[in-house]
Structures are given as structure tokens and as C-alpha cells.
Amino acid sequence: MINKKINRIMIAGTNSGCGKTTVTCAILKALKNRGLKVAAFKCGPDYIDPMFHSEIIETNSRNIDLFLCGERQARYLFAKNSENTDVSVVEGVMGFYDGVGGNTGENSSWDISNKLGIPAVLVVNCKGASVSVAAMIKGYLDFDKNRIEAVVLNNVSKHMYKMYKETIENRLGIRVAGYMPFEPEAVIGSRHLGLVTAKEIGSLKQKTELLAAIAEETIDLDLLLDIANNAEHFDYEKIEVEQISDVRIAVAKDRAFCFYYQDSLELLEKMGAKLIYFSPTEDIRLTEDVDGLILGGGYPELYLEKLSKNAGMINSIRAAWREGMPIYAECGGFMYLGKSINSYAMTHIIEPGFEMTEKLQNFGYVTLTAKDNTMLLEHGESATAHEFHYSKNDSDSGSLTARKASGKTWETGYCKENVFALYPHIHFWGNIQMAARFIKKCEEYKK
């Protein structure tokens, strides 16, 4: 067991939409502008918030997920990714106590804060309330044992802040670390999976610079750094990974396919793989001499015409599939392997077509169990995953059974021969054997 000092703090919230992403981005940019080396993390499975973090701090943000990875792996990854930094800033997920599902707080911001010893700052949206804000904060402080050290008030004007601060500190004894006023020039748009991606906002740099300037005036950054610096020492176990093969794996990465856990990609590299990034919308064929293919999630539905008209790439992927190249695809990548999306022709490696809907289909953490032997899971073996999508396909069967904590089950995925494709997203650090098997399959194909 290794014990080390990691300066760390969590920016959590009372609920989704309270402003924690805005506050987190403001703090990240302000700290970076001060010349600090900052590591950024996001609680839970979300892909989009880490993209914003990454753009701001100019290095990869990471996910902390106890369900997808397990606590041992999550602790190791947090320590590894916090090395050689001045402070680690962790953005929470949903409401502070909201966990995997049902009435459990498992894998919530509260759970991660407690288990990883991360002091928390609670972001509270004060719009439409005054003294009642103190009552709400008291509920969060008293609900369960927690590490909340301060609060930041969102949607508060400068002339009202003094009243809020005095009321909260006098009644509750909790420190108020500042406020964020509403600033229309810094608003970030959203779509069905949450925020729009960072790459889609041409004015992101200006927006985050504005947020940072506001934070320097309205948030006590020195107090936040003091809270982070006083976090308890951190224990973790170093995890060694077998180096398997120097296979070359093509990874789709562009605006249509951009949902990846950076730690998962780096795990493949740690096992010896060389990742070759390409764009299914822009490149006309797969790079030669690749031994495997990964198609991540994203927003292929926004680029249907470009994907459908790129016959060179479609034919290249189909040829690789026919030759037996191992293919791993998640969500948007799964859709791209189908016959069509909204009647636009895709690679047609999988027979069903996909349609976008206005309704969220399946959502939440699941445990996947293989119904038969597949490329990455043998019959009866399980993997942790997270599912979130608005599309559906016209198949009522699947290679895997997905089960939620509530007991609800459904069939998903197409996992036959050299293809392992599914809606749910998998973190390879929580399912290391799957990553190892994929590389071994690529090695077999290479030979």
C-alpha cells in the first residue's frame, strides 16, 4: 500500500442543473491562469464534462467511477493521474447523494468523496429563494456523514451575496466560499446527452476566460486551495498490467465518435498496443497494417450524410470485417455498424437498422452477462457498464443480458465471431480481462 499527499477538492452540487459544471470550469481556468498545474476529474460515467475540463487545462480530464472500475482501480487511477500536479479538482455528478439507482448512494458524489477522502464544496442554485437556501444546505449537511467543507452560491447578485453569506454562516457554521452571478455571455448550450461538446463551441476560450475572471472576483480561491491542501493523505495500491503485444489498433476519433475513457485507451497502450486514430467522416479508408478496430460512442446522428457518403471508409471497414479483424464498438459505433441510421446507409455489418427517437431508451448502470461465448466475454461472464441513448434498433434480441440494480433486464448487443458491439459503454479498467482479450484477438489476426 502506498501513502502519499494529494491536494484535492470536489465541486459537487445539490442537483443536476445547479451550475456545478460552470463553477468547476471557472475554478479550473482561474487556477490554471494562476500558473498552477491542475488535474481534473469527473465523478461518474459522463464523457462531455471531461471534454470541457480537458480544453480548459490543456491536458486530459479523467473519470472516477466506483461502479464501472471498482474502488481499488479507481483509487490507483486517481493517484496516478494526480502525479506531478498542484491540485486535483473533481467535478461531482447529479445531486450530491444520488447514486447508482433506487435508494442507494453508491457511486454518488457523496460516496466518492467519502471513500477517496475528497473534501467537497457544495454548489447551490439560489434562484427564486433567500433564507430557504440555508434550510436546503442544512438538509445536505445533516442527511448523512459527509465531507462538505464549504458552499458556493450560484445565480446570486453582488448586492444580495452579503445577506446569503451572513445567513448561512451564522445559522449553519459552514463556510461560504463565494458566489457566481448569472452571466449570459458565458452560457454553454446543451442537447440530448447533456452539454454540447467542447469542440463545437468556437467561443469556448472566451467564455472560460470570462468565467475565470468572474471567479477571481467572486470565489475565494485561496480558501478552496486551503481546503484541498488539508485533505488527508491518500492510500492506494499500484496495479501492474501485463504487456501483451504491440498490435496496431485503429480508433475512430472525430466529432462523430468522441466518447472514450482516456484511461481505457491508455490501458490498451500499457498492454503494448499502438493506437492509430482516424476519422470515419473525413478519411477515405482505414490505415494499412492495423490489427483491430475500435468505434466509440458519440453523435453519428449529426453526421449521417457525411458518414453515409463516405463509401471508401464503409468499404474499407467491411473488408476488414470480412477478413476477420476484431471490431469493438460502443453506442454510436454500434449504430455505425448497422444497416442504417434514420434510413442513411451505414456499414451494414449488423443487420438491424437504427432510428433516433425523442425518448431516452435505456439509461443507467448495468451489469452485462454473456448469453453465449463471445470475443471478449465467455458464456455466463459479466461486465460492468453504463447505457444512455435515444436511438433504438429494430432487433428484439441481443448477445448480452443487461441488468439494472432495480432488477430490470433487457437484451442488448451484437457479439458474434470477430465483432463485439453494444449500446452500453464499458470502462476497461473495471474489466481488464476484456481489454487483454481484445489485444490477444488482434494479435491472432495479425499473425
Answer positive or negative: Cα dihedral of 6, 11, 15, 21.
negative
Q: Count Cα neighbours of 335 within 13 Å in the Cβ-side half-sphere.
A: 30
Please, what is the angle between helix 20-33 and helix 48-57, to 10°?
Answer: 20
Is 331 considered catalytic here?
yes
Cβ pair 30, 38 in contact under 8 A? no
Nearest 5°: CA angle at 105, between 368 and 135? 150
Strand partners, 89: 9, 40
Q: Let me know the angle formed at the C-alpha of 419 by 410 and 302, rounded to the nearest 5 degrees.
A: 75
| Beta strand segments in 162-213, E | 175-180, 190-191, 194-195
Q: By three-state DSSP, how is residue 402 classified?
A: strand
Select which of 258, 331, 415, 442 is catalytic. Answer: 331
Query: Pick from 447, 432, 435: which is nearest to 76 by CA?
Result: 432
Sign, Cα dihedral of 305, 310, 313, 317: positive
* Neighbouring-strand partners of residue 292: 249
In the numeric block, the cell 425518448 is attached to 359
Torsion sign (Cα): 279, 281, 286, 292: positive
**Cell numbers representing residue 424 in the block:** 452500453
Q: Are 390 and 361 in contact (CB under 8 A)?
A: yes
* C-alpha grid cell, residue 133: 437556501
Cα dihedral: 208, 210, 214, 215 (round 10) = 20
Distance CA 324, CA 445 (A): 7
CA distance 178 to 158: 10
Residues taking part in catalysis: 331
